[in-house]
Chain A
Amino acid sequence: MSEQPILEVKNLSKSFGKFKVLSNVSLKIEKGQLCALIGPNGAGKTTFYNVVTGRYRPDRGSVLFEGRDISGVQTHRLTSMGLLRSFQITNIFPALTVLENILAPLVVYHAKGYSFLRAIKKQPALADEAKHILGRVGLENKWDQVASTLAYGDRRLIEIALVLACRPKLVLLDEPTAGMNPEETDRMIKLIKELAGRSETTFFVVEHDMKVVFSVAEKIFVLNQGELLAEGTPEEIRSNQKVKVAYLGGYLDAKG
Chain B
Amino acid sequence: MRSYKNLFLWFFLLAALASVPFLLPVYWIMILTEILVMSMFAMSFNLLFGYTGLLSFGQAGFFGTGGYLAVLTLLHGSTSIWVALVAGVLGSGLIALIIGWLCVRRDEIYFAILTLGFGMMLFTIAHNWRSVTGGSDGLGNFSVPEVDFLGVVLTLADPKIFYFFVLIIVLLGTWLLSRIVNSPFGLLLKAARENSNRIAFIGANVRSLRLFAFVIAGALAGASGVLFAMFNRIASPEMLHWSFSGKVILMTLLGGSGVFFGPAVGAAIFFVLEHIITSFTTNWMIFLGIILVLLVLLFPSGVLGSLLETWGRIRKGHKL
Contacts and interface: CB of A to CB of B under 8 A. Distances in A.
A123 B186 CA distance: 14
A30 B205 CA distance: 29
Given A75-B201, A76-B200, A119 B195 contact: no
Contacts of B182: 119-121
A108 B202 contact: yes
A116 B186 contact: yes
A113 B209 contact: yes
A165 interface: yes
Nearest to B204: A108
A105 interface: yes
Contacts of A53: 201
B300 to A, nearest CB: 16
Contacts of A64: none
A109 B204 CA distance: 9
A162 B202 contact: yes
A101 B191 CA distance: 8
Contacts of A108: 188, 202-204
A114 B203 contact: no
Interface residues of B, number: 25
A104 B200 CA distance: 11
A152 B199 CA distance: 21
B182 to A, nearest CB: 4
Contacts of B205: 74, 76
Contact of A105 (B203, B206, B212): B203
Contacts of B204: 76, 108, 113
Given A75-B200, A91-B197, A116 B187 contact: no
Contact of A116 (B180, B199, B203): B180
A147 to B, nearest CB: 9
Given A105-B203, A108-B204, A93 B194 contact: yes
Given A112-B185, A116-B184, 20 more contacts: A76-B200, A76-B204, A76-B205, A79-B201, A79-B202, A91-B197, A91-B201, A92-B198, A94-B194, A95-B190, A96-B190, A101-B191, A105-B203, A107-B184, A109-B203, A113-B204, A114-B185, A118-B184, A120-B183, A162-B202
26 contacts: A74-B205, A76-B201, A76-B203, A76-B205, A79-B201, A79-B203, A91-B197, A93-B190, A93-B191, A93-B194, A101-B191, A103-B187, A104-B191, A104-B202, A105-B202, A108-B203, A109-B203, A112-B184, A113-B184, A113-B185, A113-B209, A116-B186, A120-B183, A120-B184, A126-B184, A166-B203
